[in-house]
Structure 1
Amino acid sequence: MTDYAPRTELTTHCVENQPAADLECDLWRDDRPLRETLSQFAPAWVGERLAPLGRRLGEPDIQRWGEQANRFPPQLHTFDRHGRRLDEVDYHPAYHALMALAIGDGWHAVAWEREHDGGHQAHVAALYLLTQAEPGFCCPITMTHAAMPVLRQLPESEGWQNRLLGRDYDPAAIPAERKSTNTFGMAMTEKQGGSDVRRNTTRARPVTSPGTGEWYRLDGHKWFCSAPMSDAFLTLAQTDDGLSCFLAPRFTPDDRRNAIEIQRLKDKCGNRANASAEIEYAGAWVQLVGEPGRGVPAILEMVQQTRLDAATAPAGMMRQAVNEVWHHVKGRQVFDRRLADQPLMQRVVADLEIETEASLMLAMRGARAMDRSRSDEHEAALARLLPALGKFWHNKRGPAFMAEAMECLGGIGYVEETPLARLYREAPVNSIWEGSGNVICLDVLRIMERHPASIDALRRELNLARGHHAAFDAAIDSLDERLTASPGQLQAEARWLAQCMAQTLQAALLIRYAPNGVADTFCATRLANASPIFGILPVDAPLAAILERLEA
C-alpha cells in the first residue's frame, strides 16, 4: 500500500479574480434614483423616515434572514397530537424577524397614518426597499395595508381599523381582540373560476338576518389563500343577493377557532417564504362587508392597493439584481480587463439601470396619484389607471430582466448562494396574482370605457413632456390614433395598448424628472428601435453618465 504525504499547502484553490465579499451597504444612501424621485414627488418627511430603513436593510443579518426564510419554507400542522384541528403554519424565525421589522416601523399602516400627505408614497417606497430584503414576506404586509379601505365599509369596525394601525407584530394564534396589531389576508380564487370570480360557488347564509355587518356561516373551497396565519381574511361568496364580500376572522365571536381548514400549502415555483394555502370553509363565521351582492366593488378597493404594490415589487427586485450585477462586474476581470470596463457589458448594465429607474418612477407616480386622489380630479383619474399599467408592464419585463442579470454573473448567478436564482423564481408571481396580464389589460379597457377621464389624464401627463424627443412624440401620436379604434379592435390590441401606455408614461416621467441621458436613451431604445433583449443601446449612448448613477 502506497503512503501519500499530506498536502501542506492548497495550491489549486486560491480565490482570486472574484469580487470582494459582500459588505454592509445602505439601500437608501446608495440608491440615487430613489432619493431623486422622492425629492420630486414626496413631502420631505418621507425620505427622512425611509433613511433609517435603508441603513437597516443593508446590514448583513437582514440579507441572511431573507435567504433563511426561503431555504426553510413554512410548514403546515393540520392537527395537534390528539387529533384536534389545528390548521397552523410554522415559519422560520427569520420570517417573523422580517415581519416584526416591517410592522414595527409601521410600513403596513403609514398610508393611513399620513393619508393625503405622502403616506402612499412612503408605503410604496418602503415596499420597494423591503422587497430587496425578501419579496415573499411583503405579501402579508401588502394585504394588511390594503385591507383598510374595505374595513371602512364594515359597520363598527373601529377595533379592526385600530389594530391594523398597530406596530406590535404578534404571530400567536389567539383571537384578534387580544392583540394590539392584526394582519389581514385575502381569499378570492376558486379552482373552477380563477380570475372570473362570478363563477365562485362558496356560499354564505345569514345566521339571523341578512345585511351589512351581520354574521353569516360560510361553506366552500378556496384555491388560493395568501398568508393563512393572518388574523382575518377578506373573501368572496355567493348569497341570495349575489356575490358578496365578507370578513372571516380566525376565531369566532366566542373565541373558538373558526372553521377555516387548511387543506394544504402550495408548493410554488418561488415566493417560498410566503405560505399560500388551499382552504375549506366548513361553516365558518363571517361578517358581510359592504352591500349584499356588491362584493366585487367592495373588494376592488383592496385590489387597487395591492396592484400598485405588485407594480412596485418588480422595481425593487430589479434594483437588487442590478446592484448585484454592478458589484460583480466591477470586481471581475475577463480578457485582462474589468468586466465593468468592457463595452458590451457596460451596455447591458446601463440598460438594466434604465429599466429599473423607469419602473420605480411609474410606481412612485402611481403612489402620488393615490395620495392626492381625494382632492384632485386629475390625480384621482390617474389613480384608477396607473396601478394596472405598472402591474402589467413591470412584471412583463421582470423575468427577462432577472435572466439577463443572472447571465452577467455567469455560473455563480445560477446558484442559490446569490439572490439572483431566488429573484428569477420570484419574478413571475406579481404578474399572476391580483389579475394576470390579460385580466389587467381587460381592466384597462373597462377603465377607458367607464372612466374616460383617466385616459384624458394620461394624455395630459404625456403632453407635458411633448417636444423633447422625436420618438416619444411619435409614440403618443400613434397611441392617440389607436385609442379611437372600434371596441373589437381595442380588445385585440389590449396588450399593445397597455404596454404603450406604460412605456410612454415611463418616458414622460423620465423626460421631466430624470437626467437627459437616461430619458433620451429610454426613448431611443423603447419607443424607436425596440429590441426584445437588453443591451442594445445607441453607439453614442452616455454609458458613463448612466452607470455613474449606480454609485452612491
Structure 2
Amino acid sequence: MTATEDAVGATHEVVNQAPPLSGFDPLACDPALVGAVSAFGSDTVVGSLSALALESGSDTAREHGRLANEHPPVLRTHDRYGHRIDAVEFHPSWHWLMSRAVSHGLHAAPWAAEDEHAHLRRAAAFTLWSQVEAGHGCPISMTYAAVPALRHAPDLAARFEPGLTSPVYDPGLREPGGKAGLLAGMSMTEKQGGSDVRANTTTATPLADGTYSLVGHKWFTSAPMNDLFLTLAQAPGGLTCFVLPRVLPDGSRNALRLQRLKDKLGNKSNASAEIEYAGAVGWRVGDEGRGVRTIIEMVTMTRLDCVLGSTANIRIALSEAAHHAAHRAAFGTVLRRQPAMAAVLADLALESAAATVLGLRLAAEVDSGAGALLRIALPAAKFYVCKRAPMVVAEALECLGGNGYVEESGMPRLYREAPLMSIWEGSGNATALDVLRALSRDSSTVDALLAELSATAGIDDRLDAVVASLWTEVKTAEPARARRLAELITLSLQGSLLLRHVPAMADAFLARLADSGRTLGTLARGVDVGSLIDRVTPQVG
C-alpha cells in the first residue's frame, strides 16, 4: 500500500461516535416509571415488567421498529382477477411487533384480568413497548379502548370480548367468531366535521333483522385491517354508535370500501384510510341518539394512551440523547459533562419524569373505578403532555447535532411522530375545552382534584404558588383561558406527584416552575444536573 492509499484509508477510521443504543434495559434507567408503578401498584408489578422491558431494549425489537417504518403498508383494493378485496398489506416486522404487543397483554387484556393493578401494569408496559415503535400502538390502543364502549350492548360484549382480550394475534380478514384473537378500531371523523362528530352525515337505516345499513364516507379510519369497528352514524333517533365487522357472520365481506391510505407526516407503519360504507351492516351499541355518550368511554381510554404514547416518545428521545452525550466528545470532554448540554439533558429528564408519573397515576385511577379525577385531569394531561412532546423531542434531536437530523439516527421518525398524539382524539383546543365542560357539569371533579393536591399542600411554597394560580383560574374559568387552566392542572399534578413519589427529581422540577424559564436547558441555579442525568442514561450491554 502506498503512502497516499494509507493516508486515504485513515480518513475512514471511525472515532468519537456513540455505539448503537441496543441491548439496554429501559426500566433500569427510568426511576420515574419504577417509582410510580411501585407507589400506585407494588414492587411485584415492577418486577413483572422486566421481561418486556429487556425485549423492548433489544436490537431485535429496535430493528423491527425501523423496518416497519421503512416499509409502510400498501393498499390492495382488488385482487388480480378484479374482485374487490379492500385489503392492506403489512411488512413482516409490523406483524412481529403486533404479535409481541398482544402476547404481552397491551391490548384489551386488562378488562378480563382479575389483577387489581391490571390497567396500571398495562399502562407501564405500553409506555415501555411504545418506545420500540409508535405506529403499531394505534390498533393496540383502540382494541383496549373498545371494550368499555361495547359493554353498552351486553350481548355484543359477550360475543366479541373473548377475542379482544385473547393473548393471540391472529391477522387476516375472517369471520370474528372463527378467529383466535380480535382487534378493534374506531371510525368516527368525517371530512365536513372532524372533531365535531355531531355534524356527521353517515346514515344508519334499520333493517328487519335488527341490524342497520350504513351509508357514508369516513375521513380517517386507522388500522382498517382490524376485525371490527365502532362508528357513529345518524339513525332515525339521532347520532348513534354501531359496531361493524369487516367480515359478516356468513363469511362475506362487509361493505366497507377502502378508498385510499393517508400519506401522513409520521406514524408511517400504521395504515390510516378513508373508507366508504356502501350499505355496510352494523349492530347498534347503546340507544339511538346516545352515540356520543356511548363512544365517550372509548375516547377516554384512547386519550389515556395519547398521554402514554407521548410519554414513551419523550422517554426514548431522552434515551437517545443521553446515550449520545455519554459517548460523544467535544471541546475536550464528553458532551454530558459540558455544562450547557448537561442542563438540557437534565431538563429533558424532568419532562420525562413528570409525564410518566402523571400518566401512570391516571392509569391507576382506571383500576380504582373512580371517574371524577379522570374526567378533569385526563383531558388536561392530554392537552399539556402531548403539546410538550414535539418541543421536547426536537430538543433531544438537537443534542445529536447533525447526526440527529439524519434519518439513520431514528430521531427524525420520533420527531414526525411527536405531533400526532396532540391531534388524535381531540386536538389542543378540544381537550382544553373538555376541561371546562368537566368543571361545569360535575362539581365532584373539582373535589377530586382538590383531594389529590391536598396531599402536598403546605409542603413546598413553589408548588403552593402554582396551585393558588390554578384555583384562581378555576373560579374564573372561560373558553379563552381553557389552555391555561389545563396547563396549570397538569403542572400542579405533576409537581405534587413527583414530590410524593419521585422526590429525587421533584426539587429541580419545582425550581423550574418557580423560575418561569420557558426554554429547555434553563434550569434554576444549583440543580444537581449530574445526578439527574445519571438516573436516566441507558446502560448498553
TM-score bracket, normalised by the shorter chain, equals over 0.9
Q: How far apart, in 2, do the equivalents of 1:521 and 1:265 lie?
A: 45
**Contact 2:37–2:46 under 8 Å retained in 1:** yes
SS in 1 for 2:305: helix
Q: Distance in 2 between matches of 1:331 and 1:354?
A: 21
Distance (whole Å) between structure 2 residues aligned to residue 173 and residue 320 of structure 1:
34
Range 505-514 or range 385-394, more displaced: 385-394
More off after superposition, 114-123 vs 161-170: 114-123
Q: What pairs up with 1:444-483 in 2 under 5 angstroms? A: 444-483=435-474
The structural deviation recorded for 1:428 is 0.4
Deviation at 1:371, TM superposition (A): 0.6
CA positional deviation for 1:116: 6.7
- CA displacement, residues 79-118 of structure 1 (integer Å, 9 cap, x when unaligned): 1111111100000000000000011222213321336711
* Corresponding residue for residue 394 of structure 1: 385
Superposed CA offset, 1:239-259 (max 9, x none): 110000000000123211000
Residue 494 (structure 1) aligned to one of 482, 488, 495: 482
| Larger RCO (CA under 8 A, 6+ residues apart) | 2
Q: Does residue 66 of the first structure (1) align with residue 53 of the second (2)?
A: no
Percent pairwise identity: 44
Q: Distance in 2 between matches of 1:545 and 1:354?
A: 12
| Partner secondary structure for residue 12 of structure 2 | coil
| Between 144-153 and 88-97, the greater mean CA deviation after superposition | 144-153
**Cα shift readout 1:181-223 (whole Å, capped 9, x = no counterpart):** 10001100001001001100000001116xxxx3100000000
SS at match of 2:11: coil
RMSD of equivalent CA atoms:
1.6
Query: Partner residue of 1:347?
Result: 343
Deviation at 1:167, TM superposition (A): 1.5
Determine if the alignment matches structure 1 residue 358 to structure 2 residue 354. Answer: yes
**Alignment length (residue pairs):** 535
Q: So what's the TM-score if we normalise by structure 2?
A: 0.96
2:496 alignment partner in structure 1:
508
**Aligned 8 A contact 2:21 2:320 in 1:** no
**Residues 1:413 and 2:399 aligned together:** no
Instruction: Report SS of the residue matched to 2:260.
Output: strand
**Contact 2:109/2:167 (CA < 8 Å) preserved in 1?**
no
**1-structure distance, mates of 2:203, 2:258:** 18
Q: CA deviation at 1:383?
A: 2.2
In structure 1, list runs of 5 or more residues that go unmatched.
Answer: 374-378
State whether structure 2 residue 291 is matched by structure 1 residue 303: no
Please give the alpha-carbon distance, in whole angstroms, between the structure 2 residues aligned to 1:303 and 1:339: 42
After superposition, residues 63-462 of structure 1 pair within 5 angstroms as: 63-114=62-113, 117-157=116-156, 158-208=158-208, 214-373=210-369, 379-462=370-453
CA separation of 1:116/1:61 partners in 2, compared to 1, >3 Å: closer, same or farther? Answer: closer
Deviations, residues 481-520 of structure 1 (Å, cap 9, x unaligned): 22111xxx5111000000010011100101111124x212
- 3-state SS in 2 of match to 1:55: helix
- CA distance in structure 2 between the aligned counterparts of 1:297 and 1:5, rounded to whole angstroms: 78
Partner Cα distance (1:220, 1:109) in 2? 29
Q: Is the 8 A contact 1:116 1:371 kept in 2?
A: no
Are the counterparts in 1 of residues 377 and 489 from structure 2 also a CA contact under 8 Å?
no
How far did residue 29 of structure 1 move?
3.0
- Tell me the distance in 2 between the aligned counterparts of 1:532 and 1:255: 57
Match of 2:313, as an amino acid? M
CA–CA separation in structure 1 for the residues paired with 2:362 and 2:454: 18
Contact 1:469–1:520 under 8 Å retained in 2: no
Give the structure 2 partner of residue 36 of structure 1: 35
Cα distance in 2 between the residues matched to 1:151 and 1:386: 24
Give the Cα–Cα distance (whole angstroms) in 2 for the partners of residues 260 and 5 of structure 1. Answer: 69
Q: In the aligned structure 2, how far is the partner of 1:406 from the partner of 1:416?
A: 11
Displacement after TM superposition at 1:45 (Å): 4.1
Q: In 2, distance between residues paired with 1:367 and 1:307?
A: 11
Q: 1:440 is paired with a residue of what secondary structure?
A: helix
Is this contact kept in 2: 1:237–1:243, CA < 8 A?
yes
